[in-house]
Every structure is written in C-alpha cells, then in structure tokens.
Amino acid sequence: MKLKIAILAGDGIGPEVTREAVNILNVVAEASGHEFTFTESLIGGVAITANGTPLPQSTIDTCLDSDAVLLGAVGDNKFNSLTPDKRPEAGLLQIRQELGGFANLRPCLAFEALSENSPLRPEVTKGVDILFVRELLGGLYFGQPREWNKQTGEAFNTMRYSKSEVERVAHIAFQLAQKRRKKLTQVDKANVLECSQLWRATVDEIKTQYPDVTVEHQLVDSMAIHLMNTPRNFDVVLTENLFGDILSDESGVISGSLGMLPSATIGGKVNLFEPVHGSAPDIAGQGKANPLGAILTAAMVLRHSAHLEQEAKAVEAAVTKVLAEGHRTSDIARGNTAANVTTQQMGKLVHNALAESIDRQQSLHAV
C-alpha cells in the first residue's frame, strides 16, 4: 500500500515532536512493506517568515494532493502584534477548513504507569479508553446570525444543526464503536435545547442500522460528572461541537499531560492528524517536549488513513512499554520518577520497542 503524507511541522516544538512521529511511521513502513512518502510544507510562523502568509497556496495544494496530513503545532509569540487573521494560528484554522473534516476524534487513554500524574485516583482511571467523536463544523462556533453589539450591550450566537450534519458524524461514531467495545454515548442538553432534541432523535433513528451497538444518551452536565467519577463506563462518546470541545479537554486530566494527547479530524477531503498541544514556546528548542502525543497521533494515521489497525496497536503498545519502564520527559515526571529523557531519546525508545515487537511478530510468523 502507498500512502502520501503531507508533513506540516509548524512552529516551536512542532518540528521536534513531528520528527519522532515520522520516524515511527518509517519503522512501520519498512517492516510491513508499505510505502509511505512524506512531503514537508510550511504552515504558521515559519510560513509567515518565508512567504508572508501563514498558509501558502503551495501548502494547501500539497495537502489536497495527499492521503493524510500530519501537523505538529503552530504559534510563535513574535507574531503576537499581528491581527488574528494574519497570525500563525490563522493558518491552522484555514487548513482545517480547506480539508473539510467534520468528525474530530480525540482518544482519552489512561496509561497505568502515569496514574500518579492524574488528579483522579488510580482506581478511577485504570483501564480508561474513551474515544470522543466531536462534530467540528457546525453548532455555536459557526451558526449565523452572530453578533456583539457594543451599542446595545447585547451579544448572541446561534446553535444550528441540520439533520444531515448530525447523521454524517453519527454514522462515523457508530462505525468506530463497532470496531471497539460497541457502546455509544450521545451527549446533549435535550431537556432544554431543540438542537439537542434533533441530535437525540437522529441518533435514535440511525441506531437501528447498528443493532450490535448499545446506545445511551447523557445530558452534558451530568456527563461532566460521570467522566470524572466513572470514566471506565464510556467507549465512544458522540457530541456536538461545543460540548465536545469542553468534555474532551476535561478528559485530558485522565491521561495526565497535554503532551500525551493525539487527535484526528476525518470525513473531509483529506484526514488531518495533530497532537492536541500547541507550539509550547516556553520549552521549544530545549529537547524537553514530550513526543508521545505526536507518536500516538502517528498511530491514528495508521488506524484511520492507512487502515493498519494491528500496526496502530503496536505503536500504542510500544508507548505503554516505554512508560512502564519508567522513561519520562519533564511534563510527565512525578515523585520518584524524575525526567530522564529528551524528546529525541523518548522517540528512540519507542522506535526501539516498536522495532523489537515487530521482529518478534515476524519471527513468530516464520516458525
């Protein structure tokens, strides 16, 4: 199989963590005989410096001509005086729009070795494996009309969804649930909002097409509590845009560090993969960045664009192994486990663990 991957490393720690993610994809390609090609393009502050714009047309063209886009992070304080539409972050918003993905996937995994890093008790987080599916192009963030009228002192936004917008993201969530533990929790505020009533009715209509998936509905306020009390009860969580933004960030406390969180946006012309964190200018260039969020993002490339589920699981297992051995970048160091590796060393450890597990698998097959 051939996969063309556009690499947009971006600013700050973006290039440092993306390099490690690409190394991991190369291990998989070499071992499995698949051909992954990488084309690097500019986005964010580095693109402003080189081309005067945060998203050059050549970057858009490269992305649209690829099978997947892997992005590091954008943002550079030296452009803070520019208007929002000219700053590095504008490039990120624009590429998301160009690629058109409407389903934002945010896994929330609890790594047992990091259980001390979460403010939640280890017995609460143990074994948590949730996949948030957040609708990304509709709802309050985009609905018209919207206005802040400074004369009258009033402001308003519009939460608006069409049935087809709900259907398309719901189908993705059901299909993902079928490949996992077959449970789908749909989150809304149907006791108050008509939009939520549309979501609930649409999901109930669609669920007849997925008889193997158990569906439950939760109100967003009680869901915020359940996520902290009993996170193990959830498998796939489907939400509209605003609720998904808040709940997936809330669940970040389960994994213990922003540097551990991957994401993917699918359903559009080309899938977009990016770690959740930003460009972290406070630690950029110091070898302190945790590359595991980017490496877990590479696992999502394998799962959702290359359809290599076994290989994706092998990458996740390699990350689990390296953490269990006690290796820590500074963001995930706690108590007796001091920071003992740089970005590059952490990447290399995962690389080696993955290569070893692939070798083991191959020699088992050869027997």
Tell me which residues touch ligand NAD (CB under 6 A): 13, 17, 73-75, 89, 92, 258-259, 274, 277-283, 289-290, 293, 331
Q: Which of residues 189 and 277 has its CB atom nearest to ligand NAD in the complex?
A: 277
The token pair that represents 132 in the structure block = 């948030």
Q: How far is the CB of 163 from ligand NAD (least distance, A)?
A: 31
Minimum separation from the CB atom of position 60 to ligand NAD (A) = 17
Least Å distance between CB 290 and ligand NAD? Answer: 3
Of 120 and 284, nearer to ligand NAD (C-beta) is: 284
Going from the C-alpha of 225 to that of each of 201, 250, 251, the distances in angstroms are 24, 10, 11
Give dist(CA 330, CA 282) in Å, integer: 13
Three-state DSSP state, 157: coil
Nearer to ligand NAD, 285 or 326 (CB): 285
β-bridge partners, 219: 188
As measured in angstroms, the least distance from the Cβ of 279 to ligand NAD is 4
Classify residue 120 by its DSSP letter: S
Please, what is the minimum distance in Å from the beta carbon of residue 365 to ligand NAD? 35
Overall size of the chain counted in residues: 367
Which residue in the list 235, 245, 288, 331 is annotated as catalytic?
245
CA 202-233-176 angle, 5° bins: 50
Burial class (CB in 10 A: 0-12, 13-18, 19+), 225: exposed
Q: Is residue 63 a contact partner of residue 6, using CB atoms and an 8 Å limit?
A: yes
* CB of 51 vs ligand NAD, minimal distance in Å: 18
Q: Which residue among the candidates 221, 269, 282, 359 is catalytic per the annotation?
A: 221
Among candidate residues 4, 67, 141, 207, the one labeled active-site is 141
Active-site residue identified among 76, 161, 189, 235: 189
- Shortest distance, position 77 Cβ to ligand NAD, whole Å: 7
- Helices 88-99 and 57-64, interaxial angle, to 10°? 30
- Our CB check for ligand NAD shows the closer of 112 and 282 to be 282
Residue 189 catalytic? yes
Residue in this structure with the two tokens 């590095």, named with its chain if needed: 88
3-state secondary structure of 203: helix
State which amino acid sits at residue 254: I
Structure tokens at 37: 């090609």
Beta strand 183-188 pairing with 214-219: parallel
235 carries an active-site annotation: no
For the question of residue 221 being annotated catalytic, the response is: yes
Rounded-to-integer distance, Cα 62 and Cα 234, Å: 38
DSSP assignment of 246-293 = HHHHHHHHHHS-GGG---EEESSSSEEE--SS---TTTTTTT----HH
Q: Which is nearer to ligand NAD, 73 or 136 (CB)?
A: 73
Which residue, 231 or 259, has its beta carbon nearer to ligand NAD? 259
CA 75 to chain centre: 18
Q: Name the 3-class secondary structure at 308.
A: coil
Beta carbon nearer to ligand NAD, 73 or 184: 73
249 is catalytic: yes
Q: Is the dihedral of CA 252, 266, 97, 166 positive or negative?
A: negative
State the catalytic residues.
141, 189, 221, 245, 249
